[in-house]
Structure 1
Amino acid sequence: MNFFKRWLRFTLIFILVTSVFSQKKDDLNVVDKVKSYPKEIILNHNILVEGYFQFIDSLVLKYDSITPYILTEHLLVRHNPWILDTLQNTDYYRMKARDSFVYNQKKMIVLPQGNTIKFPDSKTAESLQKVFNKTTVDINIPEFKLRIYQDSVKLFECLVRVGRNEKKYLEMSGREEDLRTRTGAGMIVGYNKNPRYANPANNHNYKVTRRDDDKVTLVPQIPFIETELNGIRYGQLIHPTTNPETLGKAYSNGCIGIKEADAWVIYYYAPIKTKINIRYDLKVIDANGEVKILKDIYGYQ
């Protein structure tokens, strides 16, 4: 009997020690997993605009499974603001102001060799995600303004162009369309990172564009942003124009046109599911706090 008791005591102690050791080993594995993603990476070669999204997507794919949060390109770029600055500076007109003519924006270096891309820690990633969740894109058509808010705090503002006040047959849709930009509340529902440039009137693709300075360049690679309003996808995009002289005017076929540099900001400030409100308010408050009545460009009132 004493032998049996000693055996039973030894067995229980062995099971307990083994269990504790196993638990500690599992804890170490968890710690190792959290520590296994890098705090930063150093670029060992130049990344051009044409390969930018492929590179960023590859980083997200490689490290998302080992970061303690859901890694996205938006988190990565917002944590590395120099990337957004560099993307903005591929704008043709910004380069022109520096006495540099850019024929093919896709061949510009956007992530230079030797630069560092840092990964956010869990606390920073959570904070950035909360910012995204509280972000709203607001567009007032007769004011020709797009604003980005975090709650009630304005983060960004830019000039836009909107749809013309006319109806026209568009080969792209195969019917006559009201070209006025539609109003409504909804969200960002998609992106086209390598968009097709086409004339909606005849549905013909074009590879080159004539700039405001009358010079011809290849079309740039900048994301087009797809919207949904009142539960309907009208095909009404937010996208860059290569002719910023048209901003502040009713000029487009219904889409919202913006500067090339501004397009990058909107893209990285407004991930998919970001709320958007497109309105038609003629009464606004100007910078001096005074009421201003805007021109009724669509004749609604």
Structure 2
Amino acid sequence: MSFPLDRLAVQLDWNLLRTFMVIVQERSITAAAQRLNVSQPSVSAALRRLEERLELRLVDRGAGQTFIVTRAGEAVYREALEIYGGVVRLNEIGSEAGRAISGNIVIQRSSHLEMDDIMRVLEEFRAKHPAVTFSVRSTSCHEVAQALLQRVSSVGFCTRVDPAQRLRALTLTPQEFGVYCGPNHSLYRRHDVDPDLVSASDVVGFEEDQMAGALSALAVYRVRYGIGARMIAAATGIVDLVQLIENSTVIGCLSRAHAIKYGIRLWQIPVAAPPPLVDMFSLVDAERHMTPAEAALIDHLHQAGLVADLRPSSTV
């Protein structure tokens, strides 16, 4: 017995959808080509073929490589995310039936966050389910949310929440940061602080430590209290930032827990201002179809007060 198949489902090239998904995420044909490691004309041609195949205008072109995603393009993008997440979850099929909970769970976290308390909860979960493994990926806050929207990550931890209908955020305990210098700075080991010297010092920080970034609280803090002059270097990870501070005549903000753990030679400058606090959130996809391992982890994290309750609200 044969069944009719939709011609589009048979003939559509998945790579066209994948290319379009990256174009939307990068908001640039050029950036999409760089991410996919292909030429810019190839990306433009893929977009054109997808529009022709679907008989839809997916983007409205502007000057140069700029564009605006159309309403139809937004709908196609959402479907592409669903397909991508389904392909990724194929790895879990076959490891579920008739077995103890197992599989790999991807956890996305902002690289500047201190995660000791969360890691302890994850280890408690692993003790209950030893067949489960974790992939913990340090990225920017934007990429944390994108990984969840693409359904390649099960849970995320970040310092900024951008509106997304599917993602459910829970506010966690803010993290306290401090202002630090290394042995080469004239304020090292000094308890008397010269405000002029603090305000004239060059600054290093994370890449997201800027007014429009996920660590804007630190940028606002420095401006408000006259801490630091100009940003001269940015790091993506805590180890790189610590090394910049320890080996240069600069100052920088990082979490107190990270400074204690990684910055043996760091000195916290006793500035006359309250310590900066950085918000912390957990993110989960409220509409994600979860594997048994993912569902068990989300429940475990919820019981620990680390993620939002994903049960639907009562309509009574």
Question: Normalised by the shorter chain, which TM-score bucket?
Answer: under 0.3
What TM-score comes out, normalization by structure 2 length? 0.24
Structure with bigger strand share is 1
Structure with bigger helix share is 2
